[in-house]
Amino acid sequence: MPKLITTRRRFLASAAATTVFAPTIVRAQAVGAWPSAKPIRMVVPFGTGGGTDITMRLLGPKISQILGQAVVIENRPGAGSTTGTDYVAKSPPDGYLFVLATLSSTGVAKGLYANLPYDPVKDLTAIAPTNFIPICHSVTRKGIDPKDTAEWVALLKANPNKFSYGSSGVGSTGHIASANFLQRTGTEATHVPYRGAGQVFLAMVAGEVQFNSDIPSLMKEYHLKGELRTLFVATDERSSIIPDIPTAAEVGLKDYRAYSWYGIFGPAGLPSTVTNRMAQAIDEALGDPVINKRLEDMGTPAMRGYTPARFAKYVSDEIDIWVPITKASGAKAE
Confidence at residue 22, expressed as pLDDT on a 0 to 100 scale? 67
Matching fold, domains 3-133+260-329 and 136-251: yes
CA distance 223 to 216: 10
What is the residue extent of each domain of the chain? 3-133+260-329, 136-251
Domain at 3-133+260-329: CATH code:
3.40.190.150
Percentage with pLDDT > 90 across the chain: 76
CA-to-CA dists, residue 2 to 28, 155, 156, angstroms: 16, 52, 50
Contact present, 74 and 42 (Cβ < 8 Å): yes
CA distance 46 to 185: 29
CA-to-CA dists, residue 63 to 26, 128, 276, 290, angstroms: 12, 13, 14, 14
Query: What average pLDDT does this structure show over 221-246?
Result: 94
Task: Say yes or no to pLDDT of 2 above 70.
Answer: no
CA distance 106 to 92: 20
Strand order in the sheet with 211-214: 190-193, 164-167, 211-214, 136-140, 228-233
Confidence of residue 31 (pLDDT cuts 50, 70, 90): very low
As assigned by CATH, the class of the 136-251 domain is alpha beta
Task: Quick: pLDDT tens for 303-324.
Answer: 999 999 999 999 999 999 999 9
32 or 206: which leads in pLDDT: 206
